[in-house]
Structure 1
Amino acid sequence: MFCLLAAFALLCLAMERHHEEALGQAPSPRRQRALRGLAVLALLASAWALPARADWGLAWAAWFAQLSPAALFATLLATWWPRYLPAGATGSALVAVLLGVLAF
């Protein structure tokens, strides 16, 4: 869930409008590509945890069920509290890494 939230927050920050509202300036094309690439990596990292479940059907269903709340929360941050969007992306990524380390 936290990887998905980080991915959607990074995708929001890759958009000029949200980046400008959150950070006060438009992103450079290089930064946009980097943010999109990090978002893809976060999505892949969230799917990486799927093989830990025994039943693939339930694992994919749970992954898709977590997509909607993560996207909703990132959208709420980008819409009403854009200054907290970078902190939300960073915090959720750190929590995801911490939970991943603790799982091993």
Structure 2
Amino acid sequence: MLLALLMCYVGFTALCLSTDRHHGELLNSKPSTRRRLGLRMVGWLLLTVSIWPAVAATGWAQGLVEWCAVLMLSALLLVLLLPYRPRLALMLAGVGLLASPVAAFATL
């Protein structure tokens, strides 16, 4: 379930960075059209693929329920961190991106 949580959080952060406001706030620049499209594609891809580890761990019935809970938890964490600690939100996404392969190998 950790892998699904990490993937959801990084996916939501990528979607967040695809907007002008949050990209400027976190990275101090305006995203180009190509970067915006890339961030959106990566964000939606990660959110979609994050279903796989949840379903693989506990089956379709329980896995989808747990995936919805992980999806809400990661979105809530990002929403609570952005106004007060935006740099921490960005650092957590980087740590989540680096920790995802470790979590993937731990589940095998």
TM bracket (short chain): 0.7 to 0.9
Quote the offset at 1:65 in angstroms: 0.9
Higher relative contact order (CA 8 A, sep 6+): 1
Cα distance per residue 1:41-60 (max 9 Å; x no partner): 21123112134235311110
Is 2:14 the partner of 1:10? yes
Calculate the TM-score normalised by the size of structure 1. 0.88
**1:97 alignment partner in structure 2:** 101
Is 2:48 the partner of 1:25? no
Query: Cα RMSD between the aligned structures?
Result: 1.5
**8 Å Cα contact 1:23/1:83 also seen in 2:** no
**How many aligned positions are there?**
104
4+ aligned runs moved over 4 Å, structure 1: none
Identity %: 31
Is 2:96 the partner of 1:87? no
Calculate the TM-score normalised by the size of structure 2. 0.85
Q: Which runs of 5+ in 2 are unaligned?
A: none
Q: Which runs of 5+ in 1 are unaligned?
A: none
